[in-house]
Amino acid sequence: MKLLDNCLCKLISRIEKGTSITVSLTSSNTITLTLIKFNPINASIQGIDSNGHMIIIDCKKVKSIIVSHNRNTNREEIANQLQIPWSITKQRNSFYITERAGTIVQINVQIKRKTMNRKKLILTRQVHHEGEGGLLGMVLAPDFQRTRNAYVYHTYQENGNTLNRVVQITETRQGWVEKTVLLDKIPGSIIHNGGRIKIGPDRHLYVTTGDAGEAEKAQDVQTLHGKILRMTLEGSIPSDNPFPNSYVYSYGHRNPQGLGWAENGNLYSSEHGPVGHDEINQIEKGKNYGWPVIIGDETRPNMVSPLYHSGNDTWAPSGLSIYRDAIYVAGLRGQQILKFSLSMKKIETFFEGEGRLRDILIEDNNLYVITNNTGRGSPRPGDDRLLKIKLK
Ligand SMILES: [Ca+2]
C-alpha cells in the first residue's frame, strides 16, 4: 500500500467507476476521461477519453483532479465532448446524435471498445445555426441497416428568411448526403423552431413545428406555424390526414419539442409554454391545443387543455420517451428528467444533477439522455455527455 501514500492516489482509488474525471498532469496537459478502474498494484488509472480511446495514467503524476458532480450512482457515461447535441437515435450498437451546428456523431458501443465518429452533412441548403435553430431532429429509416437512410430536420436561410425543412439523407464515407427534400419552407426564426421528428407506429413521419414567434398563426390550419405534421416516409400527405391536402395533424402549439407513443398507440408531446405553463399533451388527430388563446388550466370549446402543465414553474421540456406507464421528459431550464405517470396523472423528478437535458431514448430497460450545457448553460469539463440510466 506504499504506492498509495500520495493522497491524490488515495482519493482516486475511492472514485466510483463510470465517473467522469478531469486530471491535470501539467498546467497545459488536462485529460477528461470516464474512469474504468483504478489499479492499486501500480497506482494507475484506466479510463476512456473523449475520442473513445483507452488511456492509462500513472496517478502519481497527477497534479490535480476534478471529479464531476455525480449524485446519480445509477448513471453511466457513454460519451462526452458532444457539441450542442439535440437528438438521439440508435440502432444496434450505434447511437447517432445530431449536433446543432450541423454534424452527426456516431457512437459505437461494443463490449470492450467504444468509438466516436463525427460526420458532416452534405446538403443543397446549408444548416443555419443561430439561436434555437440549426440541425435539430433525426430519425433513422426503418430499413437503415440496408439503405443507410435517415431523416433530419434543420434550419436554413432563403432570401434572408429563416426556414426549416425535413430532408432524407444517406450515410456515406464522406458524410451524410442529401437525397430528397420531404418538406421545406417550414416557418423558422431565431426562436421556436420545433424540430422533433419521429416515425410513428403507422410508419408515418411526425414532425413538430414551432410558431416561429408568430403566435396567432398557430391557430391557422393553412400555415405550418405551431403544428404537429404527419407525412409518409416519401414526404407525401397521407389520405387520412385530418385536413384535406394538408400536412397538419394537430394545431395550436407554441413550441413542441417532444414526441412519443405509448404501447397502446397514444401519441404524446411536450411543449414549451410562455413564462411557465410548459405542457404535456395527448395528441389527437385534427385537434386544437389552444395556443395562444388558452394556457394552463384555461378552457375553451373545441380546444384541448394539457394533460399536465408546469404552472408558474419552467421545465423547458424537450425530448421524451415512454416506458410502461410513464412519460420521461428531458428538461432544459428544469435541468431534470420528469417522470409523468399516465395512470396517476402525477409528476416527479426522476433524475437531475447534470445540467440542462435535451433528449431521451429508452430501449431495453435503459434510458439514454443527452445533456445540453454547451451552447447555452454552464458547460463542465467533458460536456456535453450521453448518459445511460438503468430503469427498474
Ligand atoms: Ca396548449
The domain that holds 222 is classified in CATH as 2.120.10.30
Choosing from 18, 40, 67, the residue where a domain stops is: 67
CATH number, domain of 42, equals 2.30.30.100
Same domain, 52 and 200: no
Same domain, 99 and 174: yes
Same domain, 81 and 204: yes
- Ligand 1 centroid to residue 275 C-alpha, Å: 13
Concerning whether 192 is annotated as a catalytic residue, the answer is: yes
- Ligand 1 centroid to residue 169 C-alpha, Å: 33
Same domain, 200 and 257: yes
- Ligand 1 centroid to residue 183 C-alpha, Å: 25
Q: How far apart are CA 66 and CA 49, in angstroms?
A: 15
Query: For position 1, what pLDDT does the model report?
Result: 40
Q: Is the bond preceding residue 292 a cis peptide, omega within 30 degrees?
A: yes
Same domain, 49 and 84: no
Query: For position 69, what pLDDT does the model report?
Result: 52
Same domain, 150 and 18: no
Same domain, 156 and 286: yes
Catalytic residue among 192, 225, 272, 309: 192
What are the residue ranges of helices labelled H in the chain?
A: 7-13, 144-147
Count: domains in the chain: 2
Same domain, 44 and 173: no
Distances (CA, A) of 248 to 145, 183, 201, 255, 327: 30, 12, 18, 15, 24
Query: For position 72, what pLDDT does the model report?
Result: 58
Same domain, 81 and 134: yes
Query: For position 84, what pLDDT does the model report?
Result: 98
Query: For position 63, what pLDDT does the model report?
Result: 83
- Ligand 1 centroid to residue 290 C-alpha, Å: 5
- Ligand 1 centroid to residue 253 C-alpha, Å: 6
- Ligand 1 centroid to residue 306 C-alpha, Å: 6
Q: How far apart are CA 120 and CA 59, in angstroms?
A: 37
Q: Strand pairing of 176-187 and 114-122?
A: parallel
Query: For position 79, what pLDDT does the model report?
Result: 95
Choosing from 15, 45, 67, the residue where a domain stops is: 67
Residue ranges for the chain with pLDDT beneath 50: 1-3
Q: How far apart are CA 375 and CA 392, in angstroms?
A: 33
Which residues have C-beta under 5 Å from ligand 1, the single-atom ion? 289-290
Query: For position 129, what pLDDT does the model report?
Result: 97
- Ligand 1 centroid to residue 77 C-alpha, Å: 35
Query: For position 9, what pLDDT does the model report?
Result: 80
Beta bridge partners of 380: none
- Ligand 1 centroid to residue 209 C-alpha, Å: 14
Same domain, 144 and 253: yes
Same domain, 258 and 186: yes
Torsion sign over Cα 52, 335, 200, 243: negative
Choosing from 14, 32, 67, the residue where a domain stops is: 67
Cβ partners under 8 Å of residue 30, min gap 6: 22, 23, 24, 381
Same domain, 271 and 319: yes
Which domain range does residue 194 map to?
76-390
CA angle at residue 338 from 100 to 261, to 5 degrees? 75
- Ligand 1 centroid to residue 270 C-alpha, Å: 10
